[in-house]
Every structure is written in C-alpha cells, then in structure tokens.
C-alpha cells in the first residue's frame, strides 16, 4: 500500500486573502436553511457526546467556504483555486485537532459527511477530493507559520490605528512573533524545504513593517519587538573558522615535505 504525503504550503503565498485583522474570514450571512444541515451531519458523523462540536465546525466550515469567491462559485480555472482549497484543508485539520473530535474522526471522513449533508451549499462539488489528513510534522510547521501570519495581520491593523491604547497593544503580537519565529527558524538550520522557503518569505514581509513602525514615531517603536537576528550565520562562521584552524597544522606539514623534496 502506497501512502501519499502531501506538503502543500502554497496557500501561504496568498494568506492575506484568508485573514483579516487577525481573524479568519467568515461569511455570517449563510442562510439558516443551509446551516441547519449541520445538525443532521453532526448526529451521523460525530459521536453523540461531540455532536455540538461537530455542528459548530460544520457551520464554521460553511461560513469559510462561502466567503472564498472561487470556491463558492467553483471557479476551477482560477489560478489560486487549489491554494484556496489547501487553506481550507489546513483550517479543517486544525479545527479537528484542537477540539474533542481529535482522534475520533479525520478531516477526509469529516468532509465526506459534509458532502452528503450540505450538497446544495457545495453545488455538488466533491469537496473530499481536496481534503486530506496533514501529517503531524507538517501540521506543526503550518500552524507555526499560520500563527506568525495571524499576528502579522493584527500588527497591520494596529499600525493603521492611532489610539494610545492601541499603540501599547503593539507589544503583544510582536512578542508572539519573536518566540514563534525562533521556534520556526530553529527547524530550518541547514535546510531549504518548502516550510523554510515560506518562513523566509514571512521574514521579508515582517521586516518591511519596520519602516511603518518607525514612521509612527517613538510611541509606536518602543512597543515594537523586531525579529531576533539570525544566529545561524554565527554558527556557520564558527564552524568555518574551526575548519580553517584545523587545516593550519596540515599546511605546515605539507610545507616541510615540499622543502625536503627540494633539497633531495
């Protein structure tokens, strides 16, 4: 049996489409006659003790799905159609893992249930074709990246507000950046995989906010915590210097041998 492991980090390229002011987008105008399908779904696909949780995630899923135009309209020709689905897939994996449903149902099975009970909302699209279980290693990395971008969204919202109380609140998201970025960066030492590439993209994006912060003046900048400087360069430099130092005695031996051969 061949198990395919998907590593789709591409939705981070357009993550700003899904997060506004630190919150995931949500269509609160989904008709009640569509949301009511989540009741029957939860009774069939989640255990009775967790039916309220299943119903809640189902409703949130419908609100997210209908807030993404290209999914709602099934615009498969749109270049970011798969990225949209990859984000929704991450979101569903996260919701299940962070709830009491964790270990009782997988994202794939959950989506199959949604297909059967919310057919008209999805316009008969087989949404389970786009949903899969994200392996733990990649899920943790995606969650780290997602938390970084969520805080980045909060930061941008704060920078556009001039209230003194809001200025002080700048410290909270920038402090979260600092700790989470260090965790993520430590996973990328000596590596250049998809996760590390997306982390580098985030770093560039976050550093571009430094200018905005300083333009706001000292009241803003004193509450802002920049990303930690890259320590890897120091590690690499130390290793390189150590290697060179180790070669110095060898150069001395080679010089003596060459000098002896010249005399002979």
* Residue 191 shares a structural domain with residue 101: no
Do 154 and 173 form a contact (C-beta atoms < 8 A)?
A: yes
Tokens at 205, concatenated = 């994006």
pLDDT at residue 213, as a whole number? 82
Please choose, from the candidates 68, 4, 12, 2, the residue with its C-alpha nearest in 3D space to the C-alpha of residue 197: 12
Buried-exposed string 216-249: b where 16+ CB fall within 10 A, e elsewhere:
beeebeebbeebeeeeeeeeeeeeeeeeeeeeee
pTM exceeds 0.85 for this model: no
Please choose, from the candidates 93, 68, 92, 86, the residue with its C-alpha nearest in 3D space to the C-alpha of residue 13: 86
CA–CA separation, 207 and 204 (whole Å): 5
Strand (E) or helix (H) holding 262: helix 232-263
Last residue of a domain, one of 130, 160, 187: 130
Q: Residue 26 burial by CB count (10 A; 0-12/13-18/19+): exposed, middle or buried?
A: middle
* Residue 94 shares a structural domain with residue 149: no
10-residue mean pLDDT series, the chain (264 residues): 66 96 93 95 90 96 97 93 97 96 94 94 93 96 96 84 66 76 92 93 90 80 78 37 40 46 48
pLDDT at residue 237, as a whole number? 31
Does 236 reside within a domain?
no
pLDDT in tens, 21-76: 899 999 999 999 999 999 999 999 998 888 999 999 999 999 999 999 999 999 99
Q: Number of structural domains, the chain?
A: 2
pLDDT at residue 163, as a whole number? 67
pLDDT at residue 162, as a whole number? 63
Does 142 reside within a domain?
yes
pLDDT at residue 247, as a whole number? 43
* Residue 112 shares a structural domain with residue 172: no
Q: Which residues pair with 19 in a beta bridge?
A: 24
* Residue 157 shares a structural domain with residue 105: no
Last residue of a domain, one of 130, 165, 180: 130
* Residue 32 shares a structural domain with residue 122: yes
CA 142 from chain center: how many Å?
4
Does 246 reside within a domain?
no
Domain that holds residue 16: 10-130
């Amino acid at each position: 049996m061949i198990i395919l492991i998907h590593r789709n980090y591409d939705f981070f390229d357009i993550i700003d489409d899904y997060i506004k002011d630190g919150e995931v987008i949500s269509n609160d105008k989904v008709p009640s006659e569509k949301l009511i399908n989540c009741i029957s779904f939860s009774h069939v696909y989640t255990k009775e003790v967790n039916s309220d949780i299943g119903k809640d995630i189902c409703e949130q899923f419908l609100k997210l799905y209908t807030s993404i135009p290209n999914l709602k309209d099934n615009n498969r020709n749109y270049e970011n159609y798969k990225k949209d689905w990859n984000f929704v897939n991450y979101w569903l994996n996260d919701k299940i893992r962070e709830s009491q449903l964790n270990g009782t149902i997988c994202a794939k099975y959950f989506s199959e249930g949604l297909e059967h009970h919310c057919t008209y909302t999805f316009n008969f699209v087989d949404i389970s074709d786009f949903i899969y279980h994200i392996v733990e290693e990649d899920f943790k990395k995606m969650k780290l990246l997602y938390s970084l971008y969520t805080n980045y969204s909060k930061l941008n919202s704060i920078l556009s507000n001039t209230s003194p109380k809001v200025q002080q609140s700048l410290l909270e998201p920038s402090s979260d950046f600092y700790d989470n970025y260090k965790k993520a960066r430590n996973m990328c030492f000596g590596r250049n995989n998809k996760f590390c590439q997306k982390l580098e993209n985030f770093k560039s994006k976050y550093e571009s906010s430094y200018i905005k912060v300083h333009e706001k003046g000292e009241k803003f900048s004193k509450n802002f915590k920049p990303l930690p400087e890259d320590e890897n360069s120091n590690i690499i430099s130390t290793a390189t210097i150590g290697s060179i130092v180790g070669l110095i005695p060898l150069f001395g031996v080679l010089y003596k041998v060459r000098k002896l051969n010249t005399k002979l």
